[in-house]
Chains A and B, each alone.
Chain A
Amino acid sequence: MIYDKGFSVNVTSPPAIFTKDLWFSYDSNPVLEDVNITIPPGDFVSIVGPNGGGKTTLLKLILGLLKPSRGLAQVFGETPEQTRRRIGYMPQHSQLDPDFPATVMDVALMGRLGHGRFFGPYSKRDKEIVTNVLEQVGLRDFRKKSFAAISGGQRQRLFIARALACEPDILLLDEPTASLDVVMEGDLYELLQTLNERLTIVMVSHDLGFVSRIVKSVICVKRKVLMHPTAEITGAIINEIYGSPMRMIRHNGERNCNCHNS
């Protein structure tokens, strides 16, 4: 291991996530154009932008689930396929069958696939790791409960636990706060902040206002992509991302923000 988990980052260590001239289109309609981002290890990034702006697409390109039309995406200096096992991914849970017959433990254990043998039961160590991460997200006492019987907020935490069970160096979360109320959302951010002490976190989120208090950088995605340090996020930028068409603003004096409506 070249880089330790404590982020005493030296200059030569590759960025956690790096994209260069990255383009992606579905059926010749460009969804993402010319994405150039560099996320250092230890960062806590929120990806924001309107629906259909390409947030999930960007996440899937980083995971290697989608292939770029042009350009490249790298994770720790390697292709996403090579580093997949260092990524813990939490998908939007609405895509999964809520009545699936599995216990909380069963679901979290899926994070241990690909670590041991290719067949047979999970090892004792796998179960210890999973019990431990369930403890971290506050679901230890629910581990024998049915997946169908737990609440939406508990499911979100379960999927974070499953991602953590992969023992990742990066956590990629797709809308972890969807269907959560404000209290649960606060708890979740507290958990993520603790995890950020040892993990790089990238999450897709809708509510910029709340998020900007805990994340370190914001990536705004609306076909074009720009990364800002959180400190620079102002009301004007928030408006720019979600509202008012065709206005350009300056960031950091470097170049024009491309977050205009297309």
Chain B
Amino acid sequence: MSQFLIDLQHYSFLQNALLTGVLASVACGIIGTYVVVRRISYIADGIAHTVLGGMGAALYLNRVYHWHGMIPLYGALVAALIAAVIIGLVSLRAKQREDTAISALWAIGMAVGIIFISRTPGYNEDLMGYLFGNILMVSTSDLWMLAGLDVLIVMAGLLFYNQFLAVCFDQEFAGLRGLRVEVFYLLLLGLAALTVVLLSTVVGIVMVVAMLTLPIGIAALFCRSLWGMMVISTILCAIFTTSGLAVSYGPDYPAGATTIILAGAAYLAAIMVKWAVSRF
């Protein structure tokens, strides 16, 4: 731990990692709260896993056909768009089959990704990288990208806080008050997809799923307003990513997996505390 603090002052990769965690926390705290209260976290998870197919395909095209402009981020964007359109259409047209469609996309997306990655020649440690990311290898341009995402999400969250709140709480009533409910719902899905895509190329798919649910799950146990839940989950998220980095640094554990385990343990502990408080 003390080694981490000393090295933090000398190595820019560690500073970048720390900053990545904090920047990602803002996006995850706000979007995660909306996703959880609107009960669409399963959709976000589905999109996140489908993204692997796109990243695998992009990697394959890049290495085998030498499409040098084709970076995994673009593949992820295309896959997320396709997934969002399919999920959106299915949920509008055939409501009761939504979960089946999401599960199908989830599995197919990951399978496609793994096939492409297995056919891609060269150094293929990337699969683990896509699933759990490597927060220690974040570039400065990634940081700018995350900062841009945060600005977009915070702006949307501030401007349309009341509208999003009403649409998440009671869509029918919001529509009766003249709100364009579909527009706000799609805007929310779009922001969630964008968050998933950008973060999954930086910190990995499983890490995104964890950050979009675990801190929010803890905050939901104790918060009685939406903005309170956003603030608390952002802070919790930053604590988990930072402590994940610090704990994993000395013994050289994978930082992403360590963060997730810490967050998961805190979630279980919070549920038990809440349960105990309600009983005694």
Is B170 a contact of A96 with CB atoms below 8 Å?
Answer: yes
Is A84 a contact of B176 with CB atoms below 8 Å?
Answer: yes
Write the nearest CB–CB distance from B226 to chain A, whole angstroms.
Answer: 5
Find residues 107-121 in chain A having any chain B CB closer than 8 Å to their own CB. 107, 109-111, 113-114, 118-121
Is B179 a contact of A114 with CB atoms below 8 Å?
Answer: yes
Write the nearest CB–CB distance from B235 to chain A, whole angstroms.
Answer: 16
The segment from B62-70, B107-115, B161-169 found at the interface with A is: B161-169
- Asked if B218 is at the interface of the complex by the 8 Å CB criterion, the answer is no
- Asked if A103 is at the interface of the complex by the 8 Å CB criterion, the answer is yes
Interface band, chain A: 20 to 34
Is A122 a contact of B162 with CB atoms below 8 Å?
Answer: yes
Is B176 a contact of A101 with CB atoms below 8 Å?
Answer: no
Write the nearest CB–CB distance from B152 to chain A, whole angstroms.
Answer: 15
- Asked if A192 is at the interface of the complex by the 8 Å CB criterion, the answer is no
A87-128 to B contact mask, C-beta < 8 Å, 1/0: 101010000110111110011011101100011111000000
Question: Given that A106-B165, A122-B162 are known contacts, is A101 also in contact with B224, CB under 8 Å in the complex?
Answer: yes
**Which one, B160, B165, B168, B178, contacts A114 given CB within 8 A?**
B178
Question: Given that A110-B174, A110-B177, A113-B179 are known contacts, is A100 also in contact with B163, CB under 8 Å in the complex?
Answer: no
Give complex CA distance A148, B223 in Å: 10
Is A113 a contact of B161 with CB atoms below 8 Å?
Answer: no
Contacts of A84 in B (CB 8 A): 176-178
Is A89 a contact of B37 with CB atoms below 8 Å?
Answer: no
**Which one, B161, B168, B220, B225, contacts A121 given CB within 8 A?**
B161
Of B166, B168, B175, B223, which is in contact with the most chain A CB atoms at under 10 Å from its CB?
A: B166
Question: Given that A101-B224, A101-B226 are known contacts, is A91 also in contact with B172, CB under 8 Å in the complex?
Answer: yes
Contacts of B148 in A (CB 8 A): none
Question: Mind listing 14 A-B residue pairs with CB under 8 Å?
Answer: A85-B177, A89-B176, A91-B170, A96-B169, A101-B228, A102-B169, A102-B224, A102-B225, A103-B225, A113-B163, A113-B177, A120-B159, A145-B224, A149-B224
Known: A101-B225, A103-B225. 9 other contacts (CB 8 A): A65-B175, A100-B168, A102-B226, A110-B170, A114-B177, A114-B179, A119-B159, A121-B161, A148-B224
Question: What residues of chain B have their CB less than 8 Å away from a CB belonging to chain A?
Answer: 37, 39, 159-163, 165-166, 168-170, 172-179, 220, 223-226, 228-229
Question: What residues of chain A have their CB less than 8 Å away from a CB belonging to chain B?
Answer: 63, 65, 84-85, 87, 89, 91, 96-97, 99-103, 106-107, 109-111, 113-114, 118-122, 145-149, 162, 166
